Amino acid sequence: MSFTSTVKNEVSKLNVGKVESIAELSAFLKNNADVSNEIKITTENASVARHIFHSLKDLYGITPRITVRQGYNYNKSYLYILEVLKQVEEISIDLSLDKEIPSDYLIDDDDAKRAYLRGLFLACGSINDPKKSRYHLEFFVNQEKYANFCVKLLNEYDLNSKVLKRDNRYMIYMKEAEKIGDFLRMIQAIQALFYYEDIRIYRDHKNMTNRLNNCEQANVDKIVETAMGQVRDIEYIKQHDSLDFLSEKERVVATYRLKYKEASLLELSQIISIETNENITKSGIHHRFRKIKELADRIRAKEEK
């Protein structure tokens, strides 16, 4: 079962009040119903089909006709078809199915807005499993004006959703992991949210560990590269019998660098301080290596001439 189905199964089992149920049903039918002289609803999710069936029955006292048939897609999942033959005009007007965007009374408080967005997800939403792929939540709708309305409604909750035209439809999407988690919380998909947050925290921790390891490795590589450059300078000076041009303190540092070729400047300063009983700081070591490099560069320049 996909993560999208898991979320839809959970939220379709919520017990909600009449006002929320009307808002939810309005969003669902707006995006998943053919309305003519009847209302025809098609879904692959059995739990969603049961939920819409009971909502219509509880709100309007009608019993939709249900048909189940096998789908034509590659996994041959079943399709659940609900047909409403009575009170079509009343339901259509009541739920704003005849308008581009819903009437204000359908979303006139916070609970109704959340319920409307829950119905939107049940009808045309999908969400990637955080364990298997990138963070992504999307809805596909048919009209630009309605897409902009949905984006505005989502962003009232600071979800940072955006809209993109795809062929002759409009995709409303979110890619920020934290915002997707907020959406799951908002539609009361609590069990799905726990799963999602566990995976998100694990992935964030893993990514942070990888970044720290990469940073540490980069620092180690830099230390080794610097040390090898210092070794090359010292050996070059030795090859040209020019160590006497270094001061005594610089020769001490050169000797210890050849002895401890991969030590960092801090480690080298600690070793020299312990073994010679003369305290020397990391900056002092750096200053002396700078002098050694200057001598090596002068010899190289003279050689080139």
Q: How many CB atoms lie within 10 A of CB 23?
A: 27
pLDDT of residue 76: 62
Residue spans per domain, the chain: 3-188, 209-304
> Could you give the CA distance from residue 192 to residue 208 in angstroms, rounded to a whole number?
24
Q: Mean of the per-residue pLDDT values for the chain?
A: 89
Closest Cα partner for 13 from 35, 59, 46?
Answer: 46
pLDDT of residue 249: 87
Q: Which two tokens stand for residue 295?
A: 């001598």
> Could you give the CA distance from residue 260 to residue 258 in angstroms, rounded to a whole number?
6
Q: What is the mean pLDDT of residues 96-120?
A: 94
Q: What is the mean pLDDT of residues 94-122?
A: 94
| Residue 27 pLDDT grade (very low, low, confident, very high; cuts 50, 70, 90) | very high
pLDDT of residue 74: 59
For the ranges 134-148, 248-262, 290-304, the maximum mean pLDDT occurs at 134-148
> Could you give the CA distance from residue 71 to residue 80 in angstroms, rounded to a whole number?
9
| Residue 220 or residue 148, greater confidence | 148
127 forms beta bridges with 137
pLDDT of residue 242: 85
Sheet bearing 65-70, strands edge to edge: 34-35, 39-43, 78-84, 65-70
Q: Which two tokens stand for residue 58?
A: 């509880």
Given the candidates 3.10.28.10, 3.90.1150.10, 3.40.50.300, 3.40.50.620, the CATH classification of the domain at 3-188 is: 3.10.28.10
> DSSP assignment of the chain, as one string?
--HHHHHHHHHTT----HHHHHHHHHHHHHHS-EESSSEEEEES-HHHHHHHHHHHHHHH----EEEEEE-SSTT--EEEEEEE-SSHHHHHHHTTTTSSS--GGGGSSHHHHHHHHHHHHHHHEEE--TTTS---EEEEES-HHHHHHHHHHHHTTT---EEEEETTEEEEEE--HHHHHHHHHHTT-HHHHHHHHHHHHHHHHHHHHHHHHHHHHHHHHHHHHHHHHHHHHHHHHHHTT-GGGS-HHHHHHHHHHHHSTT--HHHHHHHHHHHHS----HHHHHHHHHHHHHHHHHHHHHHH-
| Residue 57 pLDDT grade (very low, low, confident, very high; cuts 50, 70, 90) | very high
> Could you give the CA distance from residue 258 to residue 269 in angstroms, rounded to a whole number?
14
In this structure, are residues 129 and 139 in contact, taking their beta carbons and an 8 Å threshold?
no
Closest Cα partner for 18 from 104, 94, 99?
Answer: 94
Q: Which of 6-10, 100-104, 158-162, 249-253 has the lowest mean pLDDT?
A: 249-253
66 forms beta bridges with 82
Q: Does the predicted model carry a pTM greater than 0.75?
A: no
> Could you give the CA distance from residue 84 to residue 91 in angstroms, rounded to a whole number?
10
Q: What is the mean pLDDT of residues 253-269?
A: 86
pLDDT of residue 131: 85
Q: Which of 50-54, 67-71, 88-92 has the lowest mean pLDDT?
A: 67-71
Residues 6+ apart with CB under 8 A from 23: 106, 107, 112, 113, 115, 116, 119
In this structure, are residues 118 and 21 in contact, taking their beta carbons and an 8 Å threshold?
no
Residue range 192-227, pLDDT digits in tens: 999 998 888 887 777 777 777 777 777 777 888 888
> Could you give the CA distance from residue 182 to residue 168 in angstroms, rounded to a whole number?
29
